[in-house]
């Protein structure tokens, strides 16, 4: 999108970063550039206003809910499994106890 006017920061850049601006996730210099553009460009300011209202609505309607404990436990287990698999670690539990196997690869470099 472009409003047709020349700005130091292009309209498409501003609109691509409007959520970073809303969430205060860009550095101060970039934030100042985005704010200057929004002050100068009415179409971008209108789009910013829509996104700001959407963010407020989402926070109001979705902000207080928490994930059920069962879901949290399943996610933790899946993350644990993925991490162990990535690290090539096998954990087996049985009547005799728990066995942990770690496969390692050693890389030697000569200088």
As a three-state string, the secondary structure of 22-45 is: HCCCCCHHHHHHHHHHHHHCHHHH
CA distance 96 to 100: 13
What 3-state class would DSSP assign to 65?
Answer: coil
Question: In this predicted model, what pLDDT tens digit does every residue of 61-94 receive, in sequence order?
Answer: 777 667 788 998 998 889 888 877 777 777 777 8
pLDDT reported for residue 3:
62
Q: How far is 68 from 65, CA to CA, in rounded Å?
A: 9
**CA-based nearest residue to 14, from 28, 4, 1:** 1
Model confidence at 29, pLDDT cuts 50, 70, 90, reads: very high
Six token digits for residue 92: 């087996």
pTM of the model: 0.49
């Amino acid at each position: 999108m472009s409003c047709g006017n020349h700005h130091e920061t292009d309209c498409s850049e501003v609109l691509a970063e409007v959520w970073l601006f809303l969430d205060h996730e860009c550095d101060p210099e970039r934030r100042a550039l985005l704010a200057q553009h929004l002050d100068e460009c009415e179409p971008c300011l209108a789009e910013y206003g829509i996104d700001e209202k959407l963010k407020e609505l989402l926070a109001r309607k979705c902000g207080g809910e928490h994930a059920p404990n069962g879901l949290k436990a399943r996610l933790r287990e899946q993350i644990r499994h993925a991490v162990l698999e990535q690290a090539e670690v096998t954990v087996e539990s049985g009547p005799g106890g728990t066995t942990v196997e770690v496969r390692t690869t050693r890389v030697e470099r000569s200088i």
